[in-house]
Amino acid sequence: MRRYFGRKLLVYGLTFLVAVTINWMIPRFMPGDPVQSMLARANVSQPAAVEAMRAHYTSLFGLDLPLWEQYGNFWAALFRGDLGTSIWLFPTPVTDVIIRAVPYTLALLIPSILLSWWAGNRFGAFAARRRWLDNTVLPIGYVLTATPYMWLAILLAWGLGIVAGIFPVSGGYSFAMRPNWSWEFVGNLALHWFLPFVSLFLVAFGGWAIGMRNMIIYELEADYSTYLSSLGASRRLIRRYAFRNAVLPQITGLALQLGVLVAGALVTEIVFSYPGLGHLILQAIQNQDFFLLQGTFLFIVVGVLVANFIIDIVYVLVDPRTRTGIGGEAA
Amino acid sequence: MTLRVDDLRVHYRTLRGEVKALDGVSFGVGDGEILGLAGESGCGKTTLGKSLIRMDGRMRLAGGTVSLDGAELPIGDDRRMNPFRFKRVSLIPQYSMSAMNPTRRIGRMITELLASRGESVDTAELERRLDLVELPRDILGRYPIELSGGMKQRMVMVISTLLDPSLLIADEITSALDVSTQKAVARTLVEFRDRGFVRSMIFITHDISLTYQIADTIMVMYAGRLAEKAPASVIVSEPRHPYTRMLISSLPEVGVRHAERRLSGIPGRPPALLDPPQGCRFRDRCPLAFDRCAEDPPPIEVAPGHHVACWKA
Ligand SMILES: Nc1ncnc2c1ncn2[C@@H]1O[C@H](COP(=O)(O)OP(=O)(O)OP(=O)(O)O)[C@@H](O)[C@H]1O
Ligand code: SF4
Ligand SMILES: [Mg+2]
């Protein structure tokens, strides 16, 4: 067991190392000069002042050092939780910008992932034993999973937002409001949250439902199900076993899909101008704010890795086969 | 008589029509009797075994009746058949290796299975039976994956017979085992019968020599019909049906498996059951065939307990 998690941790550690390195590299070798864009924005006309500012910014961002030193400093700063200073929102630290955006992304991701997984599994298992449901809803499920996140988001924004006018289509809350803990503000937050959430939920839901439906049919035809039926066990017991066993691959599926789901959330945020990490990425690109871009990516990578690790642990807890395999005590 | 099967007809629904896998089979199994079922691949042994406990979705009861302990078995009605399963008719499946839910501890699975049949576990009796088949008692706390193949096989044998059924069906349960394990399994089955865990048994295998070791009676089937049925020693020493004779004479050494092998001694192959020919189904391959064989030979009791379906018998 300890060896298993040791190995897992090593893999995650290596992934992290590679991710950080790539992360550090990309903006540095990307076209576009961030200092130049800062200066352009500052709109200073005196050449001497421009030079002074350039020197100031360059040393502030550490761009005048040799590459390897920049790399080392990057790691050192990383462990201090220092991801640099945002150019877009100068002089706010990148960490602060990210921390402000994270609640929005999590508020979209966590409910949409967990609810779609739960509801999709329930529904898929349910559909598997009703022929008419299977025949009508399954195609809808296929259409849903095949829909790119962006499309569905745009469709919903157009249909329920612009045409029907029920939901706002952009922002995390109305511009006229100041964040506070009043019911009015929370309600406003919820209203803005709804459409991005639903579009994420629906796409993921279709995928889980189809996966579950196929898995459960497979499990109901497995030998242990046949044996139980031959011994006259109740349908309920057989379904319960089948459901439990069919959920296991869905947990692995969750780990595999996590990256896709996060990417979907980022795109959806962009469509709805929702002030989460996806929105930050867009702003960072538009403003050539590579510290922010770097920081956001890094944050996402770490988040996905942590979530994967949690899923690994859950899987080991629920599937005895992995546990015995890990312990090496199988006869 | 424990089991009585009369003119049983079971068909498979296929796109090309009905495959008449059992086409009028009648026989009986007495109290305490072990009936060995033999015959070439495709003759309908599995179909017969499944018909008696649980038909799959493509099987259809086309006719005939089955009674167990004097009461009719509603084999064509899945719902009405359910109360009989496990309690009156049970089976040891061919797939013992994968018959147990991999994600449940064995003891818990047994408890849940019995509970769903309205029974509770008699722990003392269960442990006695585990001892009998030489399984450790703590096996109930383990997952199936933690058992060796032979242990799974014995565990399934214990589970299947836990409610002391009148009839036990064992279909090819030894095919995947090595010779010494095969013999141990066969001995255990006999022991189960002797101790009254099961009243009578239908033991299906390709291996006539193994059947001969444990069966009281052997029934040979051919192309969905009964060819010959007689006490085991009679089938082996004085078979009357030409097919049985060829089967016995082509018998390999005891214990040698010929599951996949066509019977070398008998040229030709059995007729297709989608549209079986008129008359004796063995006619194409029978060296003794004559005019009369264009008619169906009815099974005749040539000696007490010895039934043969052949005009030359
Ligand atoms: N699902 C099915 N659909 C159509 N025909 C089938 C099906 N299952 C079996 N059959 C046919 O029914 C006949 C009897 O099959 P069965 O499985 O009972 O044979 P068997 O005696 O058990 O053979 P084996 O010794 O190979 O196990 C065969 O001719 C087979 O082709
Ligand atoms: S009835 Fe005729 S064809 Fe059939 S086994 Fe007897 S002799 Fe052969
Ligand atoms: Mg068979």
- Tell me which chain B residue has its CA closest to the CA of residue A219: B101
* B294 Cα to the center of ligand 2, angstroms: 9
Query: Residue B42: CB within 6 Å of ligand 1?
Result: yes
Indicate where chain A has its CATH 1.10.3720.10 domain(s): 2-29+102-330
Q: Are residues B141 and B239 in the same domain?
A: no
**Facing residues of B34 across strands?**
B201
Lowest mean pLDDT, pick from A216-220, A244-248, A321-325, B300-304: A321-325
Select from B83, B99, B117 the Cβ nearest to the Cβ of A227.
B99
B93 and A244 in contact by Cβ < 8 A? no
Residues of the domain holding B72 = 3-88+165-181+193-308
Nearest protein CA to atom 30 of ligand 1, as residue: B42
A230 and B91 in contact by Cβ < 8 A? yes
Select from B102, B116, B159 the Cβ nearest to the Cβ of A237.
B116
Instruction: Tell me which range, A70-84, A209-223, A248-262, is most confidently predicted by mean pLDDT.
Output: A209-223
**Distance linking the first and last C-alpha atoms of chain B:** 26
C-alpha span between B173 and B165 (Å, rounded): 18
Q: What tens-digit pLDDT sequence spans chain B (313 residues)?
A: 789 999 999 999 999 999 999 999 999 999 999 999 999 889 999 999 999 999 988 999 999 999 999 999 999 999 999 999 999 999 999 898 899 999 999 999 999 999 999 999 999 999 999 999 999 999 999 999 999 888 999 999 999 999 999 999 999 888 877 888 888 889 999 999 999 999 999 999 888 888 988 999 999 999 999 999 999 999 998 999 999 998 888 765 444 444 444 455 677 788 888 888 889 999 999 999 999 999 999 999 999 999 999 998 7
**Cβ < 5 A residues, ion ligand 3:** B 46
Q: Are residues B49 and B121 in the same domain?
A: no
C-alpha span between A188 and B213 (Å, rounded): 82
> For A157-167, what is the mean pLDDT?
82
Report angle CA A145, A148, A149 to the nearest 5 degrees.
Answer: 95
C-alpha span between A319 and B10 (Å, rounded): 41
Q: What total number of domains does chain B contain? A: 2
Query: Residue B46: CB within 6 Å of ligand 1?
Result: yes
Residue B225's domain is classified under what CATH number? 3.40.50.300
C-alpha span between B180 and B169 (Å, rounded): 22
Q: Are residues B205 and B72 in the same domain?
A: yes
In this prediction the pTM is: 0.84
On whether residue B45 sits in a domain, the answer given is yes
CATH level 3 topology of A2-29+102-330: MetI-like fold (1.10.3720)
Q: Are residues B57 and B123 in the same domain?
A: no
Task: Name the region of A84 (left: φ>0; alpha: ψ -120 to 50; beta: rest).
Answer: left
**Facing residues of B167 across strands?**
B89, B200
Select from A231, A236, A321 the Cβ nearest to the Cβ of B145.
A321
On whether residue B269 sits in a domain, the answer given is yes
Nearest protein CA to atom 1 of ligand 2, as residue: B310
ipTM at complex level? 0.91
On whether residue B187 sits in a domain, the answer given is no
On whether residue B188 sits in a domain, the answer given is no
Q: Are residues B160 and B173 in the same domain?
A: no
* B61 Cα to the center of ligand 1, angstroms: 15
Q: Are residues B170 and B155 in the same domain?
A: no
Q: Are residues B46 and B159 in the same domain?
A: no
Closest by CA to A299, choosing from A313, A315, A316, A284, is: A284
